């Protein structure tokens, strides 16, 4: 394999990790905006979405160029294909972070209240999943990738608990329906980010082992 091709692959890896780092930061900022009732920070998250869209297009163009010019095989082909999919998932994570930021802007209009315990736990778990999925990509660590997949089930359970909690709160506080619905929306968006982080982890497994594990929950345990 030519040195030029190897440099292209290395550059592609650095670019997708850069996208991941920016997305990870935006998710953290969106969550902070919710926790701290920071409407200004939420607005900055929303305004930064165009930057990530541009990064996504650049990575996709690089992937297509590598496929066209070098026709990679085996693990190199799997890597480029996986980056194409991860790139899309990361961009969708950023979009979802914007959705959370929009909810944060709305919630900032209300008196600050503590987050429900299940939602607070979700914020921590989802941020860890995003970080671990990217770490798994950096190190080709399939064990860590599988850990992310297992954590997704925990986040799904917390999201279901939030639905039950919000239904109860609405019955008890019908005057706060709007705030509670937006809080539930934050939970739903966090759960979606967890799903997307799981997609990235599954693509790490595919790259390293050549095995498609999506929809095969037993593989994770």
Q: Which has the closest alpha carbon to 35: 116, 98, 92? A: 116
Assign 114 a pLDDT band (cuts: 50, 70, 90). confident
Query: If phi over 0 gives left and psi between -120 and 50 gives alpha, with beta otherwise, what is residue 216?
Result: beta
pLDDT score of 217 more than 80: no
pLDDT above 70 coverage of the chain, percent: 96
Q: What is the mean pLDDT of the chain?
A: 94
Burial class (CB in 10 A: 0-12, 13-18, 19+), 121: middle
Structural domain for 56, as ranges: 3-220
What does residue 141 show for φ and ψ, rounded to 5 degrees? Answer: -95, 100
**Looking at residue 219, what is its pLDDT?**
53
pLDDT score of 2 more than 80: yes
**Looking at residue 129, what is its pLDDT?**
98
* CATH number of the domain residue 213 falls in: 1.20.58.220
**Looking at residue 214, what is its pLDDT?**
81
pLDDT score of 220 more than 70: no
- Contact criterion met (CB below 8 Å) for 99 and 26: no
pLDDT single digits (tens) 47-99? 999 999 999 999 999 999 999 999 999 999 999 999 999 999 999 999 999 99
Q: Which has the closest alpha carbon to 27: 85, 135, 104? A: 104
* pTM of the predicted model as reported, rounded to 2 decimal places: 0.94
pLDDT single digits (tens) 115-174? 889 999 999 999 999 999 999 998 999 999 999 999 999 999 999 999 999 999 999 999
Cβ-Cβ contacts under 8 Å for 175 (sequence gap 6 or more): none
How many domains does one find in the chain? 1
pLDDT score of 218 more than 70: no
3-state secondary structure 121-181: HHHHHHHHHHHHHHHHHHHCCHHHHHHHHHHHHHHHHHHHHHHHHHHHHHHHCHHHHHHHH
pLDDT above 90 coverage of the chain, percent: 90
């Amino acid at each position: 394999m030519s040195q030029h091709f190897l440099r292209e692959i290395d550059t592609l890896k650095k670019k997708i990790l850069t996208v991941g780092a920016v997305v990870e930061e935006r998710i953290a900022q969106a969550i902070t905006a919710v926790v701290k009732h920071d409407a200004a920070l939420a607005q900055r998250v929303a305004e930064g979405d165009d930057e990530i869209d541009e990064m996504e297009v650049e990575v996709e163009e690089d992937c297509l160029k590598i496929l066209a010019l070098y026709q990679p095989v085996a693990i190199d082909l799997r890597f480029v294909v996986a980056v194409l999919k991860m790139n899309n998932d990361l961009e969708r994570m950023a979009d979802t972070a914007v959705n959370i930021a929009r909810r944060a802007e709305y919630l900032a209009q209300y008196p600050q209240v503590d987050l429900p315990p299940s939602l607070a736990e979700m914020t921590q778990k989802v941020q860890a999943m995003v970080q671990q999925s990217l770490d798994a990509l950096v190190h080709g660590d399939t064990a860590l990738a599988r850990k992310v997949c297992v954590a997704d089930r925990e986040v799904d359970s917390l999201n279901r608990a939030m639905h039950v909690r919000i239904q109860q709160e609405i019955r008890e506080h019908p005057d706060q329906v709007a705030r509670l619905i937006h809080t539930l929306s934050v939970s739903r968006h966090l759960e979606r980010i967890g799903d997307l982080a799981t997609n990235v982890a599954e693509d790490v497994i595919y790259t390293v082992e050549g095995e498609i594990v999506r929809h095969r929950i037993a593989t994770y345990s």
